Amino acid sequence: VPCLQVASHPFLAARASEAMAKSKNHTGHNQSYKNHRNGIKRTRRPKKMSMSGMNCKFVRNQAYAKKGMKCSPEEKEERLKAQKEAQKKMEEKKATEKAQRLKELEEMKEAEKLKAANKQAKKDAQAAAKK
């Protein structure tokens, strides 16, 4: 009955509880072995990018745009034709605007030349009047 004697004495009882304390809290023993049993694999890449955290207005619009893009081959051909026609119209419009702008620039240059010539003529007239 030595246990009773240890518990009966206050000093020995305190020492016994200290001896019972757990000293090891953690160990990595055997963990790497267990991890490598099935192999350490790379994470799978998602098939679709997550839309969470994106601008909801953009996400909604994107969905509508994707839905609108779905069409039959005939409809796709018509769309391409319409797109090419629109492109031609835009190029023609650009060309006419460029020609118009060049014409305006030319007119402005001519106006500047006339203005400079008039100014010079005035100076010459004033110089002649003084003499």
pLDDT band at 121 (very low <50, low <70, confident <90, very high): very high
Indicate the average pLDDT of the chain: 88
The runs of H, that is alpha helices, within the chain are 2-8, 10-19, 31-37, 56-69, 73-130
Looking up tokens 């001896």, which residue turns up?
19
Q: Looking at residues 88-102, what average pLDDT do you find? A: 97
Task: Give yes or no for residue 1 having a pLDDT over 50.
Answer: no
Give the sign of the dihedral formed by CA 105, CA 111, CA 117, CA 123. Answer: negative
Task: Give yes or no for residue 4 having a pLDDT over 60.
Answer: no
Compute CA distances 94 → 80, 91, 98, 99, whole Å.
Answer: 21, 5, 6, 9
pTM over 0.85: no
